[in-house]
Amino acid sequence: MSAPPNSWQAVQDEVLRRIHSRDWAPGETIPTEAELARELGCARATVNRALRGLAEAGLLERRRRAGTRVAALPVRHARLRIPILRHEIEALPARYGYELLSRRMAAPPGDLRAAPGAPPGDMLYLEAVHRADGAAFAHEARWLNVGAVPAAADTDFTALSANEWLVRNVPVSEGRIEFLAEAASPDEARLFGCAIGTALFRADRRTWNEGRLITFVRQTFRPGYRLETRI
Amino acid sequence: MSAPPNSWQAVQDEVLRRIHSRDWAPGETIPTEAELARELGCARATVNRALRGLAEAGLLERRRRAGTRVAALPVRHARLRIPILRHEIEALPARYGYELLSRRMAAPPGDLRAAPGAPPGDMLYLEAVHRADGAAFAHEARWLNVGAVPAAADTDFTALSANEWLVRNVPVSEGRIEFLAEAASPDEARLFGCAIGTALFRADRRTWNEGRLITFVRQTFRPGYRLETRI
DNA sequence: AAGTGGTCTAGACCACGTC
DNA sequence: ACGTGGTCTAGACCACTTT
């Protein structure tokens, strides 16, 4: 439980202790790296590693020349794992099932066409269900830019989900996700065996690589689904 | 756009390039730190910094003695900012409003009482609304462990939300958040001016400090709310 | 037993932003 | 201008885990 006396973690713990004890109050400037290194009897690089971590966590604010201050209102960050659905279902645990419902080239809706890096013409539309022990777990509606991912045109996605195929085959430089709640459509209600209008958890994800839109996917989860994360 | 030739970022970019180009295939073991340092003409510490970052991002898997491998199925991570609601509303932008609806000591529900680190007796129950330009933006129902946070007993929370008060005054070592969709209750429907049963986005959060439960809060957002994040 | 990553050190130079 | 954090180096020792 206790780190070696001169480790960067020990330094981090000590700094955290001083913050929590209000020894260093929010907004206050703390000693410089050199001073802390002298006081704690370690190298400056060690202090730097410790403080850098706390700055990334939002607890400290660092600026050259101005020094390091305790954040007045620490913005908490949570780290969200984005597993592929197969892994999430197998971890339940449950037997994973996948079924492709639709695959065709089509014109994407206007808001998607207006997205940065979107192609001018048609995109590949894929619709699929992910099942847990046979029951629908998540519905997936995806638009795929075959211009940016030519290999996708030769893949039928009946055996391997686009979800997993993309993770394995396409590098992604940037992504944006939105989580929201929405009422079940008639199709979704049928799929999940729930009433029309039932509140469903949804994730809209867009990913880009080098400025080109790769895919937009809307995943809708079965009633009762919860997305968990830790701070 | 281009980092100095011997920076850890340049090393990271080069490694990323080799991964994306399949020069180093998924699952494959890549050269050791020492070899890369020699090849790229920099110190091993620089390589270490670069690879450590990629390992934290889930793109590499590192183990002593076994070496470093390209992750076969990179688990994507998104970084979720958890702002206090006042900041989120002011960033809309909108005028922030806060109203305390209820404040009383009461027995928490059974599942909360059974949570690890929960106190044996009553907890402080707080119910509040956060408003954006006068309209309800989020409803908040909170249980607060006054045993772990004695100062809360002397705070009335009519001016400052518990949300913000806690961030300013109580250190938190651990937290867990669940996001889900749920149908609007009659009270929520009245508050948000929507139909009963409307799909609402909800966040259940529990925080601990040194093993003691600090607070449990359920925040329910107005219809149409979206939680955004980037990969 | 041996090789790999994990870390610490002491020193140095530099970029940046504040003074 | 100058002080602070950001980073790189060369070397060293150690922890872990696989061979």
DSSP B156-178: --SSS-HHHHHHHH---SEEEEE
d(CA A147, CA A150): 6
- Minimum CA–CA partner of A164 in chain B: B73
Which site among B88, B170, B179 would you substitute to test the A interface, given the most A Cβ atoms closer than 10 Å to its Cβ? B179
Instruction: Report pLDDT digits (tens) over A97-126.
Output: 999 999 999 999 998 999 999 999 999 999
* Residue A1: per-residue pLDDT: 47
* Per-residue pLDDT band at B2 (split at 50, 70, 90): low
Residues in chain B with CB shorter than 8 Å from the CB of A86 are none
CB-proximal positions of chain D, under 7 Å: 2-12, 15-19
Give me the numbers of helices (H) and strands (E) for chain A, helices first please: 7, 11
What's the mean per-residue pLDDT of chain A?
93
B32 close to B15: Cβ distance less than 8 angstroms: no
| Binary contact (A76, B172; C-beta < 8 A) | yes
Instruction: Report pLDDT digits (tens) over A17-42.
Output: 999 888 999 999 999 999 999 999 99
- Minimum CA–CA partner of B58 in chain A: A81
> Is residue B147's pLDDT more than 70?
yes
d(CA A151, CA A164): 14
Shortest alpha-carbon distance between residue A208 and chain B (Å): 10
- Look up the protein residue whose alpha carbon has the minimum distance to the C1' of D16: B64
Instruction: Report pLDDT digits (tens) over A144-172.
Output: 999 999 999 889 899 899 988 998 888 78
* Residue B75: per-residue pLDDT: 82
CB-proximal positions of chain C, under 7 Å: 2-12, 15-19
Nearest to A188 by CA among A202, A175, A176: A202
Nearest to A221 by CA among A125, A110, A147, A141: A141
- Minimum CA–CA partner of B77 in chain A: A81
